[in-house]
Amino acid sequence: MAISEKTIKQMQKDIRDIKRQLAHRQRTKNEKQRPATPKRVVVAPGVRATPSNENERVMELLRRKGMIAELPPEAKARAERWRALPEEEKKRIWDEFFNLKLDKPLSDIIIENRR
């Protein structure tokens, strides 16, 4: 019985994949058996100590790079007013927003405002 070259290559690929999976399982098994070593965190000067989670760390990095900034007081006040609205009022506003009828296409309005 002859086996095609294509079948042999597929079998070799399957064996490689299985070996890779076994090696990965062995590594994760070994890591679970080893006691966890604490990781060193390097904090740049002027930056607060280690953030409690990944999101805070990312936000701090973005702040330092000038990519995000604190909201101005007016925007904070507007956000608080929105949060204070009852859910029915928020839903009414969203419905009005999504069903808004414009005289001209939104793209034209945006282009005009950019001028």
Instruction: Supply angle C-alpha 18, 22, 24, rounded to 5.
Output: 115
In a structure prediction context, what are the per-residue pLDDT tens digits for the chain, which is 115 residues long?
Answer: 577 888 888 888 889 989 988 888 888 877 766 665 555 555 555 555 554 688 888 888 888 888 888 889 999 999 999 999 999 999 999 999 899 888 888 889 899 999 8
DSSP state of 34: S
C-alpha 40/C-alpha 62 separation (Å) is 21
What pTM value is reported for the model? 0.38
Q: Which two tokens stand for residue 69?
A: 């900034």
Residue 60 CB neighbour total at 10 angstroms: 16
Q: Do 51 and 60 meet the contact criterion of CB atoms below 8 Å apart?
A: yes
pLDDT digits (tens, 9 = 90+) for 13-34: 889 989 988 888 888 877 766 6
